[in-house]
Amino acid sequence: MARLYSAGVPEAARVQANVERELVEGVDLCLPDGRLNPDAKGWSRRPLHRANLHVPWGRAKRWDYWAILAGDVVVSSVYADVDYIGLADVWWVDLSTQKTGGRGIVAPLARGIDLPERPGTAPLRVRRRNFELRVTDDANGTTRITARWRERDGSPGSLDATVDLPAGHESVNVVIPWDDRRFQYTSKHQARPARGTLTVGDKTRSLDDGWGVLDVGRGRWPYSTRWNWGGGAGHVDTSAGQSVVGLQIGGKWTAGTGFTENGVIVDGVVTKLGDELTWEYDWSQPLRSWRVEDPGGRLRIELTPRYDKHTRVPLGVMSTETHQVFGTWSGTVVDHHGRELRLHDLQGFAEESRSRW
């Protein structure tokens, strides 16, 4: 079962928003022959897709990416299987000092890296010399991330973090269909309360009052891709008191498909944005401001970066380069009630990634 959804802005302000099909029941991502299930096309407010990928070896991509935004501290973790390699890591940055660290592993042919068809239904775990990572979810959707590793200088590192899933908290879950053999299911979560500790050497940094971010990916990608992704969360004053606002934005990779991964989350409720957003930034100078605008009028925000995580990985036929900047968002968004909310210094991030994989 599904219903049609169009970004609910005043008619005079609407600019040809995509009419997106909202799913309300569980569905398989793929048909038995591995092609995209037509019934899977759409978006939902909670994860409903079973990612039963049956595609030729080498083209399937599966990952869970977690991040916690906690004031001056950002910590992230990747657990991924892209068929020919598996990846797992923990990375952190102290924005006040610009100091970074962490550790990761590469698993040839993704041996020992396993992700379930339904995200969050089985533990993610890997253990290697000097690196151990475990991600588990309880029956209420609360996620615990624990890790131990050795920094490059030999210092011990550890992470113990919990990300809550408040009752009724919505997310942006959508299938992006390039065609019936190339498609991506993504589940994007923002503004989930987080807490915990990051310890490196003899220094422990608090993650309390942080915000959890989750990017689930399951699909079959084209060889060469570019994408934008961004998000953030924080408290915003309104006439009715304080609200929690989450931002979930993307671009480039969704253009022309009829679907987007864009939404504003206010007090746990998603307002879906059906338009492709306008992104303005300078790839060669990523620490300049990043501006993002919804042509339909529901979002106009600007990120002031504090740190650029520049990653470049050349691996022969596979390569990737990403600028992921962390900082604060300001601007305006419109919620599901039609209220305009003014944002000031919400913690967040934005990125562009260019990949051949």
pLDDT in tens, 29-75: 999 999 999 999 999 999 999 999 986 666 799 999 999 999 999 99
What is the C-alpha separation between 248 and 29, in angstroms, rounded? 22
> What residues contact residue 81 under an 8 Å CB cut-off, 6+ apart?
60, 61, 62, 63, 110, 113, 114, 115
Confidence of residue 84 (pLDDT cuts 50, 70, 90): confident
Give the closest residue to 257 by CA, choosing from 215, 222, 214.
222
More confident of the two residues 343 and 315: 343
Spacing of C-alpha 4 from chain mean position: 24
Its domain, for residue 130, covers: 2-356
3-state secondary structure (DSSP) of residue 207 = coil
Q: Are 351 and 322 in contact (CB under 8 A)?
A: yes
Domains in the chain, number:
1
Strands 49-50 and 27-28, by their bridges, are: parallel
pTM: 0.94
**DSSP conformational letter for 107:** E
Give the closest residue to 264 by CA, choosing from 205, 200, 339.
339
Worst-scoring range by mean pLDDT, 33-37, 43-47, 310-314, 346-350? 310-314
Confidence (pLDDT) at 319? 83
Confidence (pLDDT) at 357? 74
What is the average per-residue pLDDT within 80-98?
Answer: 95
pLDDT in tens, 204-235: 999 999 999 999 999 999 889 999 999 999 99
Residue 322 has pLDDT above 80, yes or no: yes
Confidence (pLDDT) at 90? 98
pLDDT in tens, 250-295: 999 999 999 999 999 999 999 999 999 999 999 999 999 999 999 9
Which tokens belong to 336?
């599901």
Residue 15 has pLDDT above 90, yes or no: no
Confidence of residue 7 (pLDDT cuts 50, 70, 90): very low
Residue 122 has pLDDT above 50, yes or no: yes
Residue 180 has pLDDT above 60, yes or no: yes
Residue 136 has pLDDT above 90, yes or no: yes
Confidence (pLDDT) at 17? 59
Written in H, E and C, the secondary structure of 6-56 is ECCCCHHHCCCCCEEEEECCCEECECCCCCECHHHCCEECCCCEECCCCCC
Which tokens belong to 259?
């679907």
Which tokens belong to 300?
């106009």
Confidence of residue 19 (pLDDT cuts 50, 70, 90): confident
The residues that bridge with 340 in the sheet, in sequence order, are 334
Tell me the percentage of the chain whose pLDDT exceeds 90: 86
What is the average per-residue pLDDT within 109-129?
Answer: 95
What is the average per-residue pLDDT within 100-121?
Answer: 95
Confidence (pLDDT) at 137? 98
